[in-house]
Structure 1
Amino acid sequence: MNEYGVIKAVAVRTPAQAYRSAEKIAKEWQALRFYEAPDLMAANAEHDVLRAALSNAGAEVVELECSGELTLDSIYARDALLVSPKGLIRCNMGRVSRWGEPAQNAAQLQALGYEVAGEITPPGTIEGGDMIWLDDNALAVGEGPRTNAEGIRQLREILGSKVEVHVVPLPAPSHPEDVFHLMSMISPLDKDLALIYAPLVPDTFIAWLTARGIAFVEVPEEEFIPMGCNVLALRPRDLLMLDGLPKTKARLEAAGCKVQTYKGDEISRKGEGGPTCLTRPLVRE
């Protein structure tokens, strides 16, 4: 249970499944507050590179299917399910348009042998981007527009008393339909290193992380909005991030990290979801 161990299995949903067609994209992108309409062909090419990076890192890549009822947002596979020592947990998502994703994703993974430990039910809400495992017994959860106190209470009940849950208050986004997850401001890189955007991280969270021996690499101001803080660890200090973030990349390399980048104009920037959003790691070791 961590966000930096070697990825052995990971779920993704391809643009071919999530975006489907130019007609679907044209119908949905503005209502979902994408910055622009994604180009399906270019999105497929970008996602091919992302999946290749995962496969080359030794991960089994599970491609999630789509019934046709899901929206463009379903490409961001992390959010619909949580991973726990007891099995997968189906989320009740804070964005109404995404309510269909947890059941579909869980059903496909159950058919592959993954156990489902439980689900978050209304009025509780929770999304995967608000949940970060540090180790088997320590979990940080962001409380904000997509994850509420009742969702966190239910999560604690499912996990049991052996897991310490540290709640991190999140700033409100500028628009109620926009997203600001916990992983918007922190990405674990190793057991003792994390990438953060310091101006938004509460002092109590910094103190909790520091007490666990975690040091920090800080994202510069000008690279925060372009998702400089959204970095996926393929294994300890072996990272995948968006291109076009040279200062953050240089800081990570100076901290002893290996960094590879992918072009995410269609699959990341237009819908505001980086590599952690696009992937649901299922097994790490």
Structure 2
Amino acid sequence: MFTNVIVKKPGKSYLSGLTTSDLGKPDYELLLTQHERYVKALEKCGVAVTELAASEEFPDSTFVEDAAVLTPNFAVITNPGAESRNAETVEIEAVAKTFYRKFYFIQAPGTLDGGDILQADDHFYIGISERTNEEGAKQLKEILESENYYATIIPLKEFFHLKTGIAYLGNNQMIVAGEFVSHPAFNSYEKIVIGKEDEYSANCIQVNDYVIIPSGFPETNRKLTDAGYQTIELDMSEVQKHDGGLSCLSLRF
């Protein structure tokens, strides 16, 4: 069960943030509305939400997930792979001190984005991507194993971040898309498979009694409902324009 969530309001500078998509320029007012609905959905899931103020100097800082990896007993402050995002960790470390006493840090030349880290009970999967390098992945693996977790490093072939195409739902169930559908690292899990046309919806988040999914993917919603999950659908159009998804916008612990 999650009890706390950290989110950060997007600033106007978000409009000039990093993106690889060709989906157009975000609508800032619509983005704010979508973010507000995201916070309300989290509150419906029964967690206490800590919302940080916007930081105009960091256009991508609403994607708080990339700045830390939070476990029940310790926090790992990352070293994001995009240089413009490195200093985002300062604020996240400060707010994490409200909840944690034990900290670890990813050190350069290692880079690591939280979007490349998936926890499934006592097992962590660490993606190597354009933002997380081999050194950063190895550092996190050593940290996790020193704390009696298991860790598996997975070089990515298709997705921007590991969690772009996979989510853990609990109860030994994974939602998977693309390169993860037949990946041997996930053979021990029961899989809910997402088709190519619906891949964006694989980035969903299980928060206590609900699974929050992006709207516009009725087949994904049906599969989750048939599997016994209660879903909350949210419009994520302006987040998607900057390569973001549901998991990117929060740190859940």
Q: TM-score, normalised by structure 1?
A: 0.81
Are 1:190 and 2:170 counterparts? yes
Contact 1:197 1:219 in 2 (8 A): yes
Match of 2:136 among 144, 151, 154: 151
Structure 1 letter corresponding to 2:103:
A
User: Displacement, 1:156?
Assistant: 2.8
Partner residue, 1:142: 127
Q: Aligned runs of 1:1-285 on 2, under 5 Å?
A: 6-15=1-10, 19=11, 21=12, 24-25=13-14, 28-29=16-17, 32-33=19-20, 35-71=23-59, 73-110=60-97, 112-136=98-122, 138-159=123-144, 160=146, 162-171=148-157, 180-201=160-181, 203-207=183-187, 210=188, 214-224=189-199, 227-235=200-208, 238-266=210-238, 268-281=239-252, 283=253
CA RMSD across the alignment = 2.0
Aligned equivalents of 1:154 and 1:126: distance in 2? 9
Aligned equivalents of 1:215 and 1:97: distance in 2? 38
Structure 2 letter corresponding to 1:157:
E
Change in CA separation of 1:218 and 1:113 when aligned onto 2, cut-off 3 Å: closer
- Cα deviation, 1:24-47, whole Å, max 9, x if unaligned, reads 355x24x54453222222111111
Q: Tell me, what secondary structure is at the counterpart of 2:191?
A: strand
Structure 2 letter corresponding to 1:250:
R
Aligned equivalents of 1:259 and 1:172: distance in 2? 27
Q: TM-score, normalised by structure 2?
A: 0.91
Contact 2:55 2:61 in 1 (8 A): no
Identity %: 27
> Any gaps of 5 or more consecutive residues in structure 1?
1-5, 174-179
User: Displacement, 1:252?
Assistant: 1.3
Change in CA separation of 1:123 and 1:69 when aligned onto 2, cut-off 3 Å: same
Aligned equivalents of 2:206 and 2:169: distance in 1? 6
Contact 2:157 2:179 in 1 (8 A): no
Change in CA separation of 1:252 and 1:199 when aligned onto 2, cut-off 3 Å: same
Contact 2:166 2:180 in 1 (8 A): no
Contact 1:81 1:88 in 2 (8 A): yes
User: Displacement, 1:155?
Assistant: 1.4
Change in CA separation of 1:222 and 1:51 when aligned onto 2, cut-off 3 Å: same
Aligned equivalents of 1:68 and 1:191: distance in 2? 40
Change in CA separation of 1:116 and 1:64 when aligned onto 2, cut-off 3 Å: farther
Aligned equivalents of 2:5 and 2:103: distance in 1? 18
Aligned equivalents of 1:89 and 1:135: distance in 2? 17
Moved over 6 A (4+): none
Structure 2 letter corresponding to 1:223:
D
